[in-house]
Amino acid sequence: MRLILLFLRRVAILALGVVSIWLIVDVFRFVDHRTPTILALAITYALAAYVILPRAVRMGLKFLQRKHVPRFTVTGDGLPGDPVNLALVGTLSQLRAAFAAAGWVEADKLNLMSSWRMAKAFVLNTPYPTAPFSTLYLFGRGQDIGFQKAIGDSPRKRHHVRFWAQDAAHAEANARSLDFWLNNDKPSGDGLAVWVGAGTRDTGLSLTRLTFQITHATDADTNVEREYIISELSGCGVIRHATLFKPGEGFGPVNRYITDGEIAVAELHVTGALIGA
């Protein structure tokens, strides 16, 4: 079965290559003597990177991952995102207080204004400590909250983690089953929740591996970033002892990331004084 899947993936890649060449030839034939070359190249790139390849990869992922526990978040196009590598148990207030105590800041909501500010800061290499995150999806929805810690003064480099909330009672009853991962309900209020996170370290600017879209470059070893986040929270005493938990299936390489598939699970231990600070 594995050999068959590998063969099908190679056939799909070959087919995508043929389609891309056909698209480039047809675009240039259509716009010859009508559109500047640079514009023709831009149109070809945009169609291939943001329309054709994302849809082809998304179809492949749906086929390959049927009935599997999600190993990673996905982008808005349905492509592989950051690996899931962290889970913290506590309330939203405790989560915010814990990262504040560790010197991390909450990311701004992604909107037109924050996107423009981020783009300007990225190009000019000026600080933006609360820069927004792109939206990744888990449990059928975008992240509920995210935190970051700048590396130097550059907006291009930062430690960051996104979190999705799951009701603690539901998580306790279903953590080792697909029901947990397939639950799309977001808990309301400031009750006890399991905050499932995906932490990575941004290192600059790059293109995505599968579709060549423009994105942040990230360090490939997410195991190191998981340990860094846990050490940051442990260092200021806001979490209890963290244990490693492996989901229902083993993780291999995810997208271009290196991950052992383990999730560090810890209980938030934040005092009332810190929450009120």
Tens-place pLDDT, residues 210-253: 545 556 677 888 899 999 999 999 999 999 888 887 654 433 44
Other CB atoms within a 10 A radius of the CB of residue 147 amount to 24
The DSSP secondary structure of 34-60, one letter per residue, reads TS-HHHHHHHHHHHIIIIIHHHHHHHH
Other CB atoms within a 10 A radius of the CB of residue 50 amount to 14
Predicted confidence (pLDDT) at residue 276 exceeds the cutoff of 80: no
In the prediction, which pLDDT does 138 show?
Answer: 86
In the prediction, which pLDDT does 267 show?
Answer: 92
Closest among 31, 53, 35 to 210, alpha carbons compared: 53
H-helix or E-strand spanning residue 218: strand 214-218
Residue at token pair 């006890």? 192
Least confident of 106-115, 142-151, 194-203, 212-221: 212-221
In the prediction, which pLDDT does 67 show?
Answer: 46
Compute the average pLDDT of residues 56-74: 58
Predicted confidence (pLDDT) at residue 127 exceeds the cutoff of 60: yes
Confidence band for 188, pLDDT divided at 50, 70 and 90: confident
User: Among 25-29, 155-159, 258-262, which range has the highest average pLDDT?
Assistant: 155-159
Compute the average pLDDT of residues 71-76: 80
Closest among 240, 92, 225 to 157, alpha carbons compared: 225
User: Among 3-7, 120-124, 195-199, which range has the highest average pLDDT?
Assistant: 195-199
Higher confidence at residue 173 or residue 16? 173
In the prediction, which pLDDT does 214 show?
Answer: 55
H-helix or E-strand spanning residue 268: none
First to last CA, the chain: 56
Closest among 255, 244, 265 to 218, alpha carbons compared: 255
Query: 21-25: which pairs have CB atoms within 8 A and are 24 or more residues apart?
Result: 23/47, 23/48, 23/52
Least confident of 147-151, 174-178, 197-201: 174-178
Distance of CA 56 to the CA centre of its chain: 20
Predicted confidence (pLDDT) at residue 198 exceeds the cutoff of 70: yes
Closest among 259, 251, 277 to 219, alpha carbons compared: 259
Give percent of the chain with pLDDT exceeding 90.
Answer: 25
Confidence band for 66, pLDDT divided at 50, 70 and 90: very low
Residue 270 CB contacts under 8 Å (≥ 6 apart), including other chains: 90, 93, 94, 97, 98, 101, 238
CA dihedral 94, 100, 104, 106 (to 10 degrees): 70
pLDDT one-digit tens code per residue, 7-44: 665 566 566 666 665 655 565 555 555 556 666 666 66
Residue 58: HSE in the Cβ half-sphere, 13 Å Cα cutoff: 14
Hey, what are 143's tokens? 């992240």
